[in-house]
Amino acid sequence: MIDYLEHHITDHCNLNCAGCSHFSPLAPTWFEQIDEFEKDFGVLSLKTYGEVGTIRIMGGEPLLHPYFDRFLIMARDLFPYSEIQLVTNGLLVKKFKHILQPLCNQLRIIICISDYGLEGFDMLDTIRGFQYVRIDWKNQFYNIGLDVAGAQDPLTAFKGCDLHVNKWFYFQGGRFYPCCVGANLKHFINYFNLPFEKYSNDSISISVHEHSIEEIEDFLAKPIPLCKYCHTATRKNKIDFKQSQKEISEWTYQ
């Protein structure tokens, strides 16, 4: 059983945290198409019999998507018993509360707000009226510790990775990735124009359309070539929240 997965309906964000592990400050504007979502999650639902533990609809900032509500409706329709979370920084919740509140309450969707301790942000007023709420305190986080030289041992990095330990899998474009870093590293590579090795999709991810759930779980239990770019031992170093200046040091280990 897939216990957990993260999925973007946007890559870009309206807050842009320094060192974001999803590389949202570096990502171009992009909106997922609902038919692609339906196709990929439809196959996943069939192969898992609709039994996925937790599905996190996120970004980027998902409320930037002009049709975010359609994805929530589709997710609940395909996965009637899963825990579905809408992960947001909360800044746009009030603007769309007339849509969000009745929809989330009706569909049993958790509004999961990342609290960065922003001045002037009224959390209590923002969550008022929602039946299902989760607040993640994000005033501190860690540098994900990228090694642009690719000098790390992939197995050592994999074993020391909290994303792997917690099985925080990432599902995008009908493919499973072991983590959000490997799936979105392209934004980091492209923005800083780095000469990283090019890997095939099959070496860093696995298709839900072409493989069984057992094959997917086996793939996700092993390191991928991109693991050599992660110095996971440095992730214990907490840093205070700040907005990104798009400096490469926000993502590379010190």
pLDDT, one tens digit per residue, over 80-98 is 999 999 999 999 999 999 9
pLDDT at 130 over 80: yes
Identify the bridge partners of residue 111 per DSSP, sorted by sequence position. 86, 133
Q: What is the C-alpha to C-alpha distance for residues 205 and 123, in angstroms, rounded to an integer?
A: 37
Average pLDDT of 52-71? 98
- Closest residue by Cα to residue 76 from 115, 103, 43: 103
pTM of the full structure? 0.96
pLDDT at 141 over 70: yes
- What percent of the chain is modeled with pLDDT above 90? 91
Secondary structure (3-state) at 142: strand
Across 38-47, 178-187, 237-246, least confident range: 237-246
| pLDDT at 140 (0 to 100) | 73
Average pLDDT of 166-179? 97
| pLDDT at 235 (0 to 100) | 82
pLDDT at 185 over 70: yes
| pLDDT at 239 (0 to 100) | 77
| pLDDT at 237 (0 to 100) | 66
Average pLDDT of 165-185? 97
- Report the CATH architecture of 4-250: Alpha-Beta Barrel (3.20)
Please provide the distance, in angstroms rounded to a whole number, between the alpha carbons at the two ends of the chain. 37
* Cα of 47 vs its chain's centroid, Å: 22
CA torsion sign, 112 to 116 to 120 to 122?
positive
pLDDT at 178 over 80: yes
Q: Cα separations (Å) of 56 from 40, 148, 165, 233?
A: 15, 29, 18, 26
pLDDT, one tens digit per residue, over 186-240 is 999 999 999 999 999 999 999 999 999 999 999 999 999 999 999 998 886 677 8
